[in-house]
Amino acid sequence: MATAAAPRPMTPEEKKVIFASSLGTVFEWYDFYLYGSLAAIIARQFFAGLDPTSAFIFALLAFAAGFLVRPFGAIFFGRLGDMIGRKYTFLVTILIMGLSTFIVGILPTYASIGVAAPVILIILRLLQGLALGGEYGGAATYVAEHAPHGKRGAYTAWIQTTATLGLFLSLIVILGTRTAMGEQAFADWGWRIPFIVSIVLLAISVWIRLAMNESPAFQKMKAEGKTSKAPLKESFGQWKNLKIVILALVGLTAGQAVVWYSGQFYALFFLTQALKVDNATANILVAVALLIGTPFFVVFGALSDKIGRKPIIMAGCLLAALTYFPVFGALTKAANPDLAAAQAKTQVVVTANPAECSFQGSPIAREIDFRTSCDIAKRFLAQSSVSYQNAAGPAGQPATVKIGETVITAPAATVVNSKFDDASTKAIAAFKKEVSGALTAAGYPAKADPAKIDKVMVVAILTYLVILVTMVYGPIAAMLVEMFPTRIRYTSMSLPYHIGNGWFGGLLPTTAFAIVAATGNMYNGLWYPIIIAAATFVIGVLFVKETKDVDIYAAD
């Protein structure tokens, strides 16, 4: 076990190492938010051969594809990183990732080249996902192996800050471009600009990375002839290492990931979709919270060098599990007090035969697949972001929607030639109009009133959520690096990180939305991150060992 190094300022070389390594993480989240926030526009541009609903679904599936392949990128590039070196491997990943992002910005649309457009788009998303799978592990390993003992938490925390800075940068670029061009021009072609300007980040990153040296730990291992000839076999084929990989996933990164996505992406989604805050206001409020909260990545990273990584990460998971429900309830009162008051005063109840109710959160269902009275009632309430309670009704009776004392019977629909017939269309329209009127009469707002948003309180709540993010994310890179021996570190740490963040975290918005749509309660989506964070807390406390005093230069 090594002794702590005497405190000293960060050298220019160490600053360059951190900056060069961090730019890839900026790309990661910059691209993520660009594609996610522009999914509706991308659907129209690249999936125009489908009906609008199917086009949006396919755009989201292309988005998800980038997450799903990240663990495979971790395996492929992690193996290369452990065999040939950290520097050149994650130089390749940044090139693939940056060029793929840039090409999306210049890719011809469906109107220009037909079906080739969505095919190429999906290929680019897959390449981005594969590259991202190798990027983070390389960056974290590279920085940690340059850091002096006793400062790995502080040094690697800078990588974690740039994830949020990438998100912040994308918010600024999207808002700035949209405002400068106007909505119509932005939807037509201006959406390309945020993708195209990413080439600047790429050029800076490659220029700096070319001038970097290989990490000291890898150089030492290579000089001693101890590099792994089969890092995949050593990482996942030997139980002594595989069990640590599994613990890193279920006892660290799964919980870290859901707290990360809940505190930033799901919070934004909740503001715009459930609370009906306009997009520009929601983005600005989140951006302010990100600015306030981002320094805490370094605060908790540095603190983890003193008191340990594990206590801070576990505390973040526990606080998330215990406070998400009251915190998001408080967010409702601050962002849309009229909605909070209406929910408290007037409940909405759907009474229907459960056998006639489909799963509202299906990602592949079409509008015409929801044709029973139960489906039509729940579908409209879900699309209107209205929370409701479910009550079982007798068989053979149509579903009803009760809003206060008003009871409205939902129609069933008949499908002819893959669309609702005229009578059904008229009946559904009349039902929606009647429900909307009853909701308005009960005080349910169509959207949040900008004058009534308590912006200070909303920012305070969002900042708290971001601070939870910094607690779980600030120390995680150092801890993952310290859990594995040098010879298989890149491979071993990358896989649990990207399964946790690519699958558990990346699929959080979709999963949470499906839970909300299926149950009718806008808060029920929080059960997903709460359960995962709580499970990680229990497993982490019982089975994961503290790593802050590990000597990563010791013989494997």
DSSP 152-199: HHHHHHHHHHHHHHHHHHHHHHHHHHHHHH-HHHIIIIITHHHHHTHH
pLDDT number for residue 161? 83
If pLDDT is split at 50, 70 and 90, which confidence band does 227 have?
A: low
Residue 47 is classified by DSSP as -
pLDDT number for residue 454? 97
Share of the chain above pLDDT 90, in %: 39
Structure tokens at 200: 């600047």
Query: What is the Cα–Cα distance from 62 to 58, expressed in whole angstroms?
Result: 6
pLDDT above 70: residue 19: yes
Virtual torsion, Cα 419, 424, 430, 435, nearest 10 deg: -80
- Going from the C-alpha of 465 to that of each of 170, 316, 468, 538, the distances in angstroms are 20, 10, 5, 21
Judge residue 67's burial from the number of C-beta atoms within 10 Å of its C-beta, 0-12 exposed, 13-18 middle, 19 or more buried.
Answer: buried
Residue 500 is classified by DSSP as I
| Beta strand 389-392 pairing with 348-352 | parallel
pLDDT above 70: residue 228: no
pLDDT number for residue 52? 64
Q: Tokens 């909307």 map to which residue?
A: 436
**pLDDT tens sequence across 102-135:** 999 999 988 899 889 888 988 998 998 888 888 7
What does the pLDDT average to over 479-491? Answer: 85
If pLDDT is split at 50, 70 and 90, which confidence band does 53 have?
A: low
What does the pLDDT average to over 209-234? Answer: 71
Q: To which H or E segment does residue 61 belong? A: helix 52-68
Q: What is the CB-side half-sphere exposure of residue 324 using CA atoms within 13 A?
A: 30
Residue 250 is classified by DSSP as I
**Short-list 373, 341, 368, 345, CA closest to 357:** 373
pLDDT number for residue 60? 67
pLDDT above 90: residue 79: no
Between 157 and 35, the more confident residue is: 157
Length of the chain: 556
Please tell me the least confidently modeled range out of 6-15, 186-195, 427-436: 6-15
One-character DSSP codes across 282-313: HHHHHHHHHHHHTHHHHHHHHHHHHH-HHHHH
What does the pLDDT average to over 316-336? Answer: 97
Within 336-404, where are the H helices?
A: 337-345, 373-383
Within 69-115, where are the H helices?
A: 70-84, 86-106, 110-113
Structure tokens at 156: 């690697």
Tell me which amino acid residue 80 is: L
pLDDT number for residue 469? 95
CA angle 79, 28, 253 (to 5 degrees): 65
What does the pLDDT average to over 424-429? Answer: 93
Return the bridge partners of 350, or none: 390, 401
pLDDT number for residue 3? 43
Q: Which residues of 123-151 are buried (b: 16+ CB within 10 A; e: fewer)?
A: ebbbbbbbbbbbbbbbbbbbbbbbbbbbb
Q: Tokens 């298989």 map to which residue?
A: 488
Between 5 and 461, the more confident residue is: 461
Is residue 67 within 8 Å of 129, Cβ to Cβ? yes
Q: How far apart are the first and last CA of the chain?
A: 13
Query: What is the Cα–Cα distance from 452 to 341, expressed in whole angstroms?
Result: 13
Tell me which amino acid residue 177 is: T
**125 contact partners, CB below 8 Å, separation of at least 6:** 35, 62, 63, 65, 66, 100
Query: Which residue segments constitute the domains of the chain, with CATH numbers given?
Result: 12-335+451-543 (1.20.1250.20), 347-441 (3.40.30)
pLDDT above 90: residue 339: yes
If pLDDT is split at 50, 70 and 90, which confidence band does 4 have?
A: very low
CA angle 93, 483, 234 (to 5 degrees): 70
Q: Tokens 């997009």 map to which residue?
A: 279
**Short-list 41, 88, 75, 85, CA closest to 60:** 41
- Going from the C-alpha of 354 to that of each of 23, 384, 392, 513, 534, the distances in angstroms are 51, 21, 6, 20, 31
pLDDT above 60: residue 552: yes
**Short-list 152, 159, 147, 21, CA closest to 81:** 21
Is residue 210 within 8 Å of 18, Cβ to Cβ? no
pLDDT above 60: residue 556: no
Query: What is the Cα–Cα distance from 301 to 482, expressed in whole angstroms?
Result: 14
Query: What is the Cα–Cα distance from 428 to 440, expressed in whole angstroms?
Result: 18
Please tell me the least confidently modeled range out of 363-372, 378-387, 445-454, 521-530: 363-372
Virtual torsion, Cα 161, 167, 172, 175, nearest 10 deg: -160
Share of the chain above pLDDT 70, in %: 91
Summary mean pLDDT of the chain:
85
Is residue 57 within 8 Å of 363, Cβ to Cβ? yes
Q: Tokens 């779980």 map to which residue?
A: 472
Is residue 442 within 8 Å of 346, Cβ to Cβ? yes
Q: What is the CB-side half-sphere exposure of residue 327 using CA atoms within 13 A?
A: 21
pLDDT number for residue 22? 77
